[in-house]
Amino acid sequence: MAIISLSCFFLPAARRSGRARVLLLAALIISLAAASVPVRMWRIVSSVPMIHDITTDTDDPPQFDTVLKLRKNALNPAAYGGQEIADQQHKAYPDIAPLVLDLSPGQAFERSLTTAKNLAWTIVSRNEEKGLIEATDTTFWFGFTDDIVIRISAQDKGSRIDLRSLSRVGKSDVGTNAKRVREFLKAMKNR
């Protein structure tokens, strides 16, 4: 569409008519805007690993429980993909790691729950005794629902927060889960 609009813009009939030029220019702008979305997505896909499961603890990823009922039709399994996925994640996102805070597990649980709500995640379950929060988040553009589990555990005089974000569909998450984990960790540190 953009090529046709641009080509027509230089036709003799278009040069004589100001209205035709305006319409062709509008068509060119709209078609370039529409083409920019898949081009941008392709650039992102080619720059991130083909994984759809990101966690702060690749040795012992937090496990889903309640959210498993919501994943009945999910194309991606809830089981963690193992060392191959961990290696790809560490190479692409070396900054994603557990968060240790100088808070009691109860305080860390409340901060995690508040942070998840502030990020507009849908809370599926919360169990302070087990230190687990499960949630879902839906992507803006395509409406994909991803699953999240937060694990809070006591560590020395504070708490350790681990997080996992998993897409239900798609081989690649186009970096969405890493972005989500980073946003959560940043929000937790800044509170």
Predicted local confidence at residue 7, as pLDDT: 56
CATH 3.30.530.50 correct for 53-190: yes
Predicted local confidence at residue 143, as pLDDT: 81
Residue 140 pLDDT level (bands cut at 50, 70, 90): confident
Give CA separation, 158 vs 55, 65, 155, in Å. Answer: 20, 25, 5
- Beta strands 132-138 and 122-127, pairing class: antiparallel
Q: What backbone phi and psi angles, to 5 degrees, belong to 17?
A: -105, 115
The structure tokens 């961990």 sit at: 86
What are the residue boundaries of the structural domains of the chain, listed by start? Answer: 2-47, 53-190
Predicted local confidence at residue 9, as pLDDT: 53
- pLDDT tens track for 4-28: 554 555 555 555 566 766 777 777 7
**What percent of the chain shows pLDDT beyond 90?**
65
Return the ∠ at Cα 179 (arms to 177 and 184), rounded to 5°.
95
Whether the model pTM is above 0.75: yes
